[in-house]
Structure 1
Amino acid sequence: MDTTASRVTRHYACLGNLLDEDRTAEMSTCDLVLTSQGKEFKVHKNVLMMFSDYFRNMFTIEMKEKYEKVIEIKEMPYQRLGNLIEFIYSGSITLTKENMFDVLQDALYAQIKSLESTCFEFISENISADNCLKAIIFARQCNNNKILNEAYEAIFNNMNKLQNNEGFLELDIKDLTTIVTWKKQHVAEDSFKAIVQWVNHNQSQRKNLFGSLFCQLQLTSVTHDALTRISEESLVKENLQCSNKLVKAFAQLKYPQCQHKFLLMGGYDSETDCVAFDVITKTSKYLPKLNFPRCAATTVKVGSRVYIVGGADNQGEGHPYQSCELLDLNDLENGWKPMSNMLEPRKWCRSGTCREKIYVTGGYDHQCLSSCEEFDIQNSKWMSISNMRQARYVHATVVLNDMVYCIGGVNNTTFHFSSCECYDVRSGKWNVIAPRNEARSGLASVVLDGKIYAIGGRDDGKRISTVETYIPEANKWLFVESLHLARSCPSACVLAGKIFVIGGWHGSSRLNSVEIFDPTTEDWSFSFKTKKPVYAATVAAI
C-alpha cells in the first residue's frame, strides 16, 4: 500500500537527487563554489546551511564569507571535501578503518551532527590495537566516554604491543593511570613494563611520578619470577615506597595470609566437578563445571587463572586427552574456557609453572611417556622440550628455583621406582638427582620453605603413609613424620605455610579426610572431611 509517509520519503529523495544533479548542470542554480587544493565544487548555500551548523553560522552572521561567491576550505584536502559534500547531498559516505578518523574530523569541522554520530558508531565497532591511541584523542576532544573507555580497554589488552608506541609514550598521567589499572586484577607485570617505558621516555619530568604509578599495581597475583624481575628495575630500587611494596608482595607470596582456599577439580566419581574449599570455615562451594570429564589430570595456577591439563574420562580408564582448559577466578561467569591442545594426549601426567610457562611431564598414552611439553602462556603455544631420562607416570612434579623436579612413578618395565630427576629451564637439560629412600608411585608432592615433600603413594601393591623431604643443597632425601593414614593418589597443596593432603586411596576405599602438616611442629593432624571421597583429582591453592 502506497502510504503518505512513503510518498513523502520518495519526494525527499527525489528533491535530493535533483539538487545533486543541479551541481553539475550546464544551467546550474548553485550560488557558491567551495575550493580546496585548486579543486572547485559547486554547491547551494541553503543546502549547506540545512545540514551544517558551521556553514549556517557562516552565512547568517556578519562574516566576510557571507558575501563571497568562492570560499576556500584550507582545513580539508579536496578528496575529503568532495566526500563531505557528497554526504550532505546524498546522506551516504563510505567509512573504513583507514578513513574513519578523517571523516570524523571533517564532520566535527563542519559541525554535522548526523555524520558525527555515524562516525562514532563505526569507530566504536572497529577500535583495535592499531587505532586505539588515536581514538583517545578524538574521544577527549568530543567528550565521548564510550569511545574513551573502549580505547582504554584496547590499549590495556595490547599493552605489550603498544608500550613502545610514540602515542602511548605521550599519554598524560591521568590516561596512563586509568589504563594500567583498567581491570581489578590486571596483568601487573605488563602494566609495570608499560609504566617503566613511559617514565623513561621523559625521566627528568616523570621520575617523581613513578612511585605513585607503581603503588597502583596489584602485585598479589604476580609470580615469584615476575616479582624478581620487577625488583631488578633501578626505578624500583631507588624508591623506598616501591621497595616496601615489593617486600610485602614477596612476603604475601611466601605465606599468603588471605589464601585459605583450595580448588579440587575432577577425579573419580567427580569428573566434571570444580569445588572450592575454605579451610578456615570448613565449607565448600561449587564453581563452574569442567567442559570435559577429567580424572588423572594435572593443574597449575598462574595469577588468577587455573589451568587443567590432560586426564581421561571413564574414571581415568578412557583414552587420554590432549585438551586443556582454564578458569579465570576473576571471571567465573564465563566458566571454563578451552585452550590450545597439548602436542600429545596424556593422563596421569604432572605439571608445574616457572617463568610464565607451564611444564607438563610424562604421563600415559598406551604406554608410559618420557616426553615433556612447555606451554608459553603469553603466546598460547605448546612446544616439546627434552625427554626425561626415565619414562614415568603416576609420578610427582614440582618446581623450585627454576628447576622442574620429577619424582618416582611407574614406567613400562618397573612397577614402582625411587629415581628422581630435574630439568633446568635455563639450560634445557635433565639431570639425575638422589633417589628417594623409598620407591613409590601415586604420591603427592609440594614445595614448602625451599624443600620438596614427597607424600604417601604406593609401593609393591601396598599404600604407604611415609613422607620424605628433599634438600636441594645437600641432594639428599630425609624421612619426616608420616601421615596418619596411608594414601595413594591423594591431592596436596600449600596454604598459609602448611601442607594440606586431601583424599586418596586407602587400599579398599577412597578417603574424604584432609590431613595438615605444620612444619613448625613437624606434626600431622586431621582437619576436616570433604562431602565426597577424593581420588585422582587435581588441586590448586587459591
Structure 2
Amino acid sequence: MDTTNNDVTRHYALLGKLIAEDRNSDESTCDLVLESEGKKFPVHKNVMMLVSKYFKKMFTVEMKEKYEGIVKMLQIPHQRLANLIEFIYTGRIIITEDNVINIMDDAEYTELEVLKNICATALLNLVSADNCLKFRACAQRYNLDEVFVKTNQEITNSFAEVVRQDDFVQLDVDDMSAVIKLKDKNLVRKSSVCLGLLVDETLKLAQSPFTGKLLIVGGEESPTYCVVYDVTTRQPTLLPNLNIGRAGATAVKVGSKVYVIGSAAEVDEDGYGDSDSNGNGDDDSDDRDDEDGQGDDEGGLSDDGGGHGDDEVDLSDDEGDLSGDDKDGLSDDEGGDESHSCEMLDLNEPTEWKVLPDMFEHRSYCGSGFIADHIYVTGGQDENEKTLSSCEKFDIHNKMWTKINNMLHAREEHGTVVCNGSLYCLGGYDDESVVLSSCERCDLESGIWNEIAPLNQARGGLACVVLDGNIYAIGGFCEEGQDLATVERLDPKVGMWENITSLKHDHGHLSACVIGNKIFVIGGKTVEVYDPTSNVWATAFEIEKPVSEAAVVAI
C-alpha cells in the first residue's frame, strides 16, 4: 500500500520539527553561528543555504565566511535576526504595520524570497492614509508593483490628509511633485509656479526663527579661546580663556557646567595655535586632527551608566575636606597641563575654568558623552601617538576617574554619542591611519561592546549628534583625505544607516550641537542649520573667527 498525501505532509512536518528542535538540543548538529550585537544563534549551514540565496552565494563562492564558523550579521539587529531564524525553521513570524518594512528589508538583504512574498501581501492588506507614503517608498525600493498601485490609489483618495503628514514634508522635491501629480496630473505641468512654491516652503521650514546659544571652546586657530554665540542675534560673547590650549578636545555640558577634556595644544605668545598665528585662516586641511562633534549632550540623561569598572581611584587632593570658596572640590593646581588634563566652567559663575583631576591616559582627539552622573571618554591618541581602544568615565560628584572596558577597535577622531541608554562610537581612524566605517555600541549596564551596522561611508574627523532618538554622522574626511559634505542618520531601532541631505559645504574637523529641534554645524566661519522635518540644510550665519578642531556645546 502506498503512503497517502496526508502521510507525506505529516512526514514533512515531523522532519521540520526535528530540525528546529535540534538547534537548541544539547547534542545539536548545528555547524554555523550567526551573530548580531553580541548575540549568537546556532543554525544549520545547509538549511540556511536551501532557503536563502544570500547564504547559498556566501558558501559556494570564495567569500571569507565560507571558511569560518561564524557570520556577523551587522545589518540586522539581534531581535530581528532571531525572528528571521524562527521563520526559517518554523514558518512563524508576526507581521504588523510597524514592523513589516523592517521584515521586508531583512528578507531582501538575506534574499529570502518566501518571506518577501509574505511581506508584499501584508503591505497590500495594511495600506492606509497614515502609512501610504512609507509603503509607497518601500514598493519603489523593492519593485512591488501591486503595492505601488495600491498606495497611489490611497494617496489619491486621501490626498488632503496625506499632504499634512510629516512624511510628505520630508519627501524630496521630485517625490513631492510625483505625489501631487497623482491628484491632478496636469497640476504641476500647468503651473511652473507650483514647484517653486514647494521649494520655497521647504526652505522656509529650515530657515524659520530659532533661539538658543552655542559655546565654542578652543580649536586649532585659537586654542584657549571661548566664545558664546546667540543664534538669534548672532552676537558673540567672550568667556574666560581655557587654562591651557586645546585643539581636538571633547566637551559635554551637564546642567550649568561645561567640561572640556584632553587634547592639549601649543599656543604662541599671542594666544594663537601654531597652525595660524594670525588667527584668521580657514584651515580645513586634510591633516589628521579632530573635532569629534560632541553636540550630542542634552545636559542630563537619566539612564544608569555606572558599575562596570573595577579600577577606581580617587584623584582629588582631599575628597573629605572641601573648605573655603572651592565648593566644587577643585583646586587650581590639582590637574596637569597635558592631554590627560580636563577643566570645567560653571556658566552660573563664569569667572574662570577650574582644573579637574587628570585622566588615567593622555588622550588627544578622543570622544565623550554624558549619562547618569558620569562623563564617558573613549579612545583617542596617547602621548606616543598610539591610537587607543581604552575608555574611562568621570564621576562628576566624587571627582573620580574609573577605567571601563575597552572598545572593540582602537579609534581616534571618531564620533561618540549617548543614545537610548547606550554609548556609541562611530568611524574615526585606527592605529594604521586607516579611515573607519565600523561602529560599535556599549551596553552600559553590562559594559559589553558590540559591533553595529557600519557607516555607508568611512569617515574620520566627523561630527556626531543625537536628535529625536536618531544618531547623525556629519562630514569629516574620506579615505582619500578629502573633506566630506555627506551626512548619515541611524535609527537604532532599525539598525541601518541612511544617507540624508548633504551639507551645503564640505568640512572635516567640524563641530556640531543640537539646539531645540535643529542641528547646528560649525566649519570654518560658516554655521549651517539642519531641520529634520524638511530634511534641508541652510546657512544660519557667519562667525568672526574660523573654527576647526573646536569643541562645541549648546548652552
TM-score by length of 1: 0.50
- Does 1:436 find its partner at 2:455? yes
Task: Give 1:356 shift.
Answer: 1.0
Residue number in structure 1 paired with 2:532: 519
What are the equivalent positions in structure 2 for 1:136-155 lying under 5 Å apart? none
From 254, 261, 272, the counterpart of 1:309: 261
Of 245, 255, 260, which residue of structure 2 is paired with 1:293? 245
Residues 244-279 of structure 1: per-residue CA shift (max 9 Å, x gap) = xxxxxxxxxxxxx99600100000121111100000
Whole-Å Cα distance in 2 between the matches of residues 414 and 294 of structure 1?
Answer: 22
Distance in structure 1 (CA, Å) of the matches to 2:360 and 2:434: 27
Is the partner of 2:545 in helix, strand or coil? coil
Instruction: Please state if 1:331 is matched with 2:357.
Output: no
> Given the superposition, is the C-alpha separation of residues 258 and 354 from structure 1 closer, same or farther in structure 2, using an over 3 Å criterion?
farther
Q: Encode CA deviations 1:6-41: one digit per residue, 9 max, x unaligned.
A: xxxxxxxxxxxxxxxxxxxxxxxxxxxxxxxxxxxx
Alignment of 1:235-246 (within 5 A): none
Partner of 1:423, secondary structure, is: strand
Give the letter for the 1:331 counterpart. Answer: E
Distance (Å, rounded) in 1 between the aligned partners of 2:262 and 2:433: 24
Q: CA shift at 1:393, angstroms? A: 0.2
How far apart, in 1, do the equivalents of 2:441 and 2:531 lie? 26
The alpha carbon displacement at 1:316 in A equals 8.7
Q: Contact 2:251 / 2:258 at 8 angstroms: preserved in 1?
A: yes
Partner of 2:363: 346
Alignment match, 2:217: 265
- Measured in 2, the distance between the counterparts of 1:501 and 1:258 equals 14
SS of the counterpart of 1:306?
A: strand
Residue identity matched to 1:512: K
Cα root mean square deviation, aligned: 1.7
Conserved 8 A contact 1:296-1:316: no
Q: Distance in 2 between matches of 1:530 and 1:394?
A: 24
1:387 aligns with 2:406: yes
Please give the residue correspondences for 1:71-470 in structure 2 after superposition, counting only pairs within 5 Å: 260-314=212-266, 315=273, 321-333=339-351, 335-365=352-382, 366-459=385-478, 460-470=480-490
Does the Cα contact within 8 Å between 1:350 and 1:397 map onto a contact in 2?
A: yes
Q: Which residue of structure 1 lines up, in the alignment, with residue 76 of structure 2?
A: none
Counterpart residue number, 2:138: none
Q: Distance in 2 between matches of 1:296 and 1:258?
A: 28
Q: Deviations over 1:419-442 (max 9, x none)?
A: 000111111111110001100001
Alpha-carbon offset, residue 413 of structure 1: 2.2
Q: Closer, same or farther in 2 for the Cα pair 1:537/1:316, shift >3 Å?
A: farther
Q: Which has the higher contact order (CA 8 A, sep 6+)?
A: 2
Deviates further, 308-317 or 447-456: 308-317
Q: Which residue of 1 aligns with 2:550?
A: 537
Amino acid of the structure 1 residue aligned with 2:234: K
Corresponding position of 1:484: 504
Is this contact kept in 1: 2:377–2:393, CA < 8 A?
A: yes
2-side partners of 1:304 and 1:280: how far apart? 21
Larger radius of gyration: 1
Contact 1:320/1:347 (<8 A) preserved: no
SS at match of 2:248: coil
Q: Which has the higher helix share?
A: 1
Q: Deviations over 1:171-190 (max 9, x none)?
A: xxxxxxxxxxxxxxxxxxxx
CA shift, 1:474, in A, is 1.1
1:412 to partner: Cα distance: 1.1
- Matched with 1:473 is 493
Per the alignment, residue 242 of structure 1 pairs with: none
**Structure 2 counterparts to residues 3-82 of structure 1, below 5 A:** none
- Pairwise CA distance, 1:320: 5.2
Cα offset, 1:313, TM superposition? 1.1
Equivalences, count: 278
Distance 1:417 1:326 in 2: 31
Residue 496 (structure 1) shift: 1.4
Post-superposition Cα deviations, 1:389-414, rounded to whole Å, max 9, x if no partner, equal 00000000000111110000001125
1:288: Cα distance to partner?
0.9
Work out the CA distance in 2 between the residues paired with 1:291 and 1:447: 29
Q: 1 CA distance for matches of 2:235 and 2:411?
A: 36
Separation in 1 of the partners of 2:461 and 2:261?
A: 17
AA partner of residue 466 (structure 2): V
> What is the distance in 1 between the residues matched to 2:472 and 2:357?
31
Contact 1:294–1:316 (CA under 8 A) maintained in structure 2: no
Partners in 2 of 1:538 and 1:492 — Cα distance? 8
Q: Deviations over 1:453-479 (max 9, x none)?
A: 000010121111000001101111000
SS in structure 2 at match of 1:272: coil
- Whether the aligned pair in 2 keeps the contact of 1:259 and 1:541 (CA below 8 Å) is no
Contact 2:211–2:232 (CA under 8 A) maintained in structure 1: no
Q: Which runs of 5+ in 2 are unaligned?
A: 1-208, 267-272, 276-288, 290-336
Alpha-carbon distance between aligned partners in 2 of 1:452 and 1:346, rounded to the nearest angstrom: 24
Q: What TM-score do you get using the length of structure 2 for normalisation?
A: 0.49
Distance 2:405 2:211 in 1: 35
CA offsets, 1:60-98, max 9 Å, x none?
A: xxxxxxxxxxxxxxxxxxxxxxxxxxxxxxxxxxxxxxx
What is aligned with 1:241?
Answer: none
Do the aligned partners of residues 481 and 312 (structure 1) sit closer, same or farther apart at CA in structure 2, a change above 3 Å counting?
A: same
- Asked whether the equivalents of residues 316 and 347 of structure 1 are also in contact (C-alpha less than 8 Å), the reply is no
What letter matches 1:337 in structure 2? K
1:498/1:518 contact within 8 Å kept? yes
Whether the 8 Å CA contact 2:474–2:486 is kept in 1: the answer is: yes
CA distance in 1: counterparts of 2:210 and 2:422, whole angstroms: 27
* Structure 1: gaps (5+ residues): 1-256, 504-510
Q: Give me the whole-angstrom Cα distance separating, in 1, the residues matched to 2:344 and 2:525.
A: 26
Kept in 1: contact 2:211–2:231 (CA 8 A): no
Q: Is the alpha carbon distance of 1:320 and 1:488 closer, same or farther for their aligned partners in structure 2, counting shifts above 3 Å?
A: farther
